[in-house]
Amino acid sequence: MDGAKTIDDLSRGEIEELCVDFVHRLHVHDAMWQRQVEKRLGRENMCGILSEVRPRSHEIQIGRLARIVGEEEARRSKHESGILEWRNLLPSRLEDLSDAKVRELLEGIAANWLAQDGVWFQGVEFSQGMAAAKECNDACWAEFSPFEAWMVRKLIGLGPRPGLEGLRAALGMRLYAAVNRQSFHDEGENAFVFRMDDCRVQAARKRKGLDDYPCKSGGTVEYTTFAGAIDDRIRTECVSCPPDDHPDEWFCAWRFSIG
């Protein structure tokens, strides 16, 4: 398979479009976390967790965006509640940003999405324990991954059953693709291995001297449902994912095949 288009290959206009697309995905993922936590833990527990998650998540997001677009603009884009008004901020500012700043903004939005996911996980973990957090996390990925696949399909114009070429192109336009370093390794015409060579979450843990986060259960749900939503003929197999052992060159690897 020839190399599919990646975020690095996008034009200025395509990066701007992807910024707005990423914001939409971020908000939908937040709503999915809220729904899954309520479904599994009840409304009262969800509201208690939300009261801790929401201000912490917005503090992180506003801080990161302010560093990119400027403190004054970020302040103007807040409601009285302190919540960043994304929809007002992005369209008004994108035209004024340099090409480098627009790409930095894209990465910042993706990093905010990842931080939001982590804040939700920790909110459930601190309130209800690790088992409950992993249950909500896996359920959320089962819902979000097919949604993100649908968003990417629309974004890049994938037709029905686009095969492995379509999946490869779609993996290059996920939120993860803007914050992690990933690679593709062909195994003939009917299979390839997708590797996460640098994972923002795991790398941060490694710098702190912590063990890998055991993300295999969530990853299995995530990649299986994403690939299946791109083409239901594709089979997904975990090559290795924490807590499995892995080489220093990558953190997790997944084999996709068809036929």
Q: What is the pLDDT of residues 172-194, one digit of tens each?
A: 999 999 999 999 999 988 999 99
Tokens matching residue 70: 């400027």
Q: What is the pLDDT of residues 79-124, one digit of tens each?
A: 444 444 544 455 455 777 889 999 999 999 999 999 999 999 999 9
- Of 139, 170, 200, the one marking the end of a domain is 139
Residue 229 lies in a domain: yes
Provide the token pair at 38.
């309520």
144 domain residue, yes or no? no
Inside any domain, residue 155: yes
232 within some domain: yes
Q: Do 116 and 26 touch, CB atoms closer than 8 A?
A: yes
Sign of torsion over alpha carbons 151, 157, 158, 160: positive
Residues lower than pLDDT 50 in the chain: 1-2, 79-84, 86-88, 91
Q: Which residue has the tokens 């896996």?
A: 138
Cβ atoms of 133 and 125 closer than 8 Å: yes
pLDDT of residue 146: 97
Q: Which of 90, 119, 139 is the last residue of a domain?
A: 139
Do 95 and 159 fall into the same domain?
A: no
* Same domain flag for 129 and 169: no
Query: Which among 139, 159, 181 is the end of a domain?
Result: 139
- Say whether both 172 and 77 belong to one domain: no
Co-location of 210 and 126 in the same domain: no
Domain count for the chain: 2
Are residue 168 and residue 118 in the same domain, yes or no? no
Please tell me whether residues 78 and 193 are part of one structural domain.
no
Same domain for 135 and 185: no
Residues 34 and 131 reside in one and the same domain? yes
C-beta separation of 195 from 182 below 8 A: yes
Domain-embedded: residue 15: yes
Tell me if 145 is assigned to some domain. Answer: no
**What pLDDT, on the 0 to 100 scale, is given for residue 96?**
77
Q: What CA–CA distances, in Å, run from 163 to 51, 167, 192?
A: 43, 6, 12
Do 109 and 42 have their domain in common?
A: yes
List the alpha helices (DSSP H) in the chain: 12-41, 43-69, 71-76, 86-94, 99-128, 130-156, 163-171, 200-207, 216-230
Residue 186, domain extent: 151-257
In a domain, 222, yes or no: yes
- 146, part of any domain: no
Same domain, 174 and 58: no
Pair (78, 120) in one structural domain = yes
- Torsional sign, CA 105, 8, 144, 116: negative
Q: Tell whether 182 and 252 lie within a shared domain.
A: yes
- From CA 88, how far away is CA 10, in angstroms rounded? 24
Residue type, 208: K
